[in-house]
Structure 1
C-alpha cells in the first residue's frame, strides 16, 4: 500500500510539473471577448510573455512584451510565481525519487528516505500553491475588467492556459498530499522493539535458570 501510494504521488507530481510548462507555453491565457461583436474580424489573445492577434483568415502575429517594468503588477507576480512553481517541482521530484522505499537511490536508510520523501511532498504542495495563486490572480483581473462597466479597454475572457494551470495545481497538491500520507504508514516489519523489553525477558530467564540449578547443600546441611 505504501509503495503504491508513493508511485501515485510521484506520477501526479510529475504530470503536474509538466503541465506547468504546457500552461506557460500556451498563448491563450486570456482571449478578447466576442460577446458584444456581431462580426468578428480579429482576435487578440495574450499570456505572461507575449501578445498575439489573428484575423478571420487564420493569419496570426505574436510579439513579446518589450519591457518588464511597464507591465501590470499582477503579470509580474504571476511570472515569478510560475517560475517558483517550476523550481519547487524539480525539488519535489528529486525528493520523491530519492525518498521512495522501492528506490535504491540513497541506500537503505529508510528513516532518512522517509524524511526526504516528506520534504518532497512539501515541495509538491508549494508548487501547487504557487501555480494556483498565479492563475487565480490572473483570472481575477480578467473577470474584474470584464464586469467593470467603466473599463474602456479591450475586455478579455479566461483562456485555456488558465484551465491547464488549475489542473496542474490540483495534481501537484494531490501528489504532495499522497506523498505525505505515504510517510505516515508503517508495515509490521518496520516496528521497532523496545530494548528494555528484551532486558526484562533476559533477566527473567536468568532468574529462572538460577532458581532451577541444583544446590550443593542438602536438607540436613545445618543439622
Structure 2
C-alpha cells in the first residue's frame, strides 16, 4: 500500500507557493504606497463663467504638502523635523514601517518553512516555521490596515468639516490608500492559504480518508484483492480437521 504523505504534498507545495506569491505581491503594493503621492487630494476652482478656467489641486502624502495649478506647475513643501509633523502622520509612518519589518521577517521564515526548500529541518519543524511566518505576516497586515484606516478616518473627518465650513478644503481619498488596502487583503489571504496547508497536512482524519480511498481503489483494480473472513475461517477449519485426523 502506498503512503498518504506524498499525496498530501501534491497540493501542499503549489498552495504554499501561491501563498508566498500573495505575500510578495501584497507587501510590494504596501511598500509602493510609501513613495506614492496623492494620498489625499483637494480641488479648488474649475468653475465656468470666465474666459480662463483656473483649477488648482492640493495634495499631500506622508512626506510633503503640494500645490499644482492648471499649467502643471507643482510647488511642494516638505514636512519639517519629526516633532513638527502631525501626530497621525507620524502614527501612519510608524505602523507602515513596522508592518513591512514584520513582513520581511515572515518572508524569510516562509522560505525556510516551505516544503519546496531544502532547509528548515524535518516536516514538523517546517510546519512550525511556516505558522510562525504566517503569524508575522498577519501582525504586519493588521498594522498596515490600521495605518490606512487611520489616514482614511482623518481624510473623511476633514471632508465632513469642510461641508460645515466652506472656507476649509475638503480632501478626497487618493489612489495609494486603495492600493494599500488591496495589498493588505492579499497578505491576509496568503496567511489563510499557508495556515490551511499546515492544518490540513497535520490532520490525521484527512490522511486516514486518503488511505481509505487508496485501499478501495486498489481493491477495485485488483492490485490488493479483499480478504474474506469466511474464507479464512474455512481454511482454519480444514487445517484443524487434518490435525485431528
Q: Indicate the TM-score class for this superposition, using the shorter chain for normalisation.
A: 0.7 to 0.9
Q: CA deviation at 1:152?
A: 4.4
Q: CA deviation at 1:151?
A: 7.4
1:2 aligns to 2:17 (yes or no): no
Gaps of 5+ in 2: 1-10, 48-52, 208-245
TM alignment of 1:86-101, pairs within 5 A: 86-101=100-115
State the Cα deviation string for residues 173-202 of structure 1 (Å, max 9, x = none).
Answer: 1111211111112288x97xxxxxxxxxxx
SS at 1:184 equivalent: helix
Q: TM-score, normalised by structure 1?
A: 0.78
Gaps of 5+ in 1: 192-223
- Cα distance in 2 for residues equivalent to 1:8 and 1:30: 33
The structure whose residues are more often helix, as a share, is 2
| Match of residue 71 from structure 1 | 85
Q: CA deviation at 1:125?
A: 1.1
Closer, same or farther in 2 for the Cα pair 1:151/1:172, shift >3 Å?
Answer: farther
1:46 to 44, 57, 60: 60
C-alpha RMSD of matched pairs (Å): 2.2
| Match of residue 120 from structure 1 | 133
Closer, same or farther in 2 for the Cα pair 1:32/1:40, shift >3 Å?
Answer: farther
State the Cα deviation string for residues 11-33 of structure 1 (Å, max 9, x = none).
Answer: 01011111111111111100114
- Cα distance in 1 for residues equivalent to 2:115 and 2:95: 31
| Match of residue 32 from structure 1 | 42
- Cα distance in 2 for residues equivalent to 1:104 and 1:152: 63
- Cα distance in 1 for residues equivalent to 2:166 and 2:18: 46
Number of aligned residues: 189
Q: CA deviation at 1:70?
A: 2.4
Q: CA deviation at 1:37?
A: 5.0
Structure 1 contact 145–151 (Cα < 8 Å) conserved: no
Q: Which has the higher contact order (CA 8 A, sep 6+)?
A: 1
Q: CA deviation at 1:121?
A: 0.7
Q: TM-score, normalised by structure 2?
A: 0.71
Closer, same or farther in 2 for the Cα pair 1:151/1:142, shift >3 Å?
Answer: farther
Structure 2 contact 159–171 (Cα < 8 Å) conserved: yes
